[in-house]
Chain A
Amino acid sequence: MSETAATNAHPGLLEKQFESLQTQHEARKLGMWIFLATEVMFFGGVLTAYTLYREMYLPGFVQGSHFLEVTWGAVNTGVLILSSLTMALAVRSAQVGARKLVTLGFLGITMLLGAAFLAIKFIFEWRHDYVEHLVPGIDFTYAGPHPAHVQLFFCFYFFLTGLHALHLIIGIGILAVLCLMAWRGRFSPQYYSSLEVAGLYWHFVDIVWIFLFPLLYLIGGR
Chain B
Amino acid sequence: MQGQHIVPVKTYVGVFVALILLAALTTALAYVPMGIGNTVAALAIAVAKMALVALFFMHMRYDKGLTRIVIIAGLMWLAIMITLTASDEFTRHWSPIPSNWGPAISMPQKQ
Contact = CB atoms under 8 A, between A and B. Distances in A.
Interface of A: 3, 21-22, 25-26, 29-30, 33-34, 36-38, 40-41, 44-45, 47-48, 51-52, 55-59, 70, 74, 77-78, 81-82, 84-85, 87-89, 92, 95-96, 189-190, 196, 199-200, 203-204, 206-207, 210-211, 213-215, 217-222
A200 B57 CA distance: 8
Contacts, number: 151
A218 B27 contact: yes
B27 to A, nearest CB: 5
Contacts of A204: 58
Contacts of A58: 111
A196 B38 CA distance: 36
A74 B23 contact: yes
A210 B46 contact: yes
A221 B38 contact: yes
B46 A211 contact: yes
B27 A207 contact: no
12 contacts: A34-B70, A37-B71, A38-B74, A85-B16, A92-B9, A203-B53, A203-B54, A204-B58, A211-B50, A214-B46, A218-B27, A221-B38
Question: Which of A22, A206, A207 has the most chain B CB atoms closer than 10 A to its own CB?
Answer: A207
A52 B81 CA distance: 11
Given A48-B81, A74-B23, A218-B27, A207 B50 contact: yes
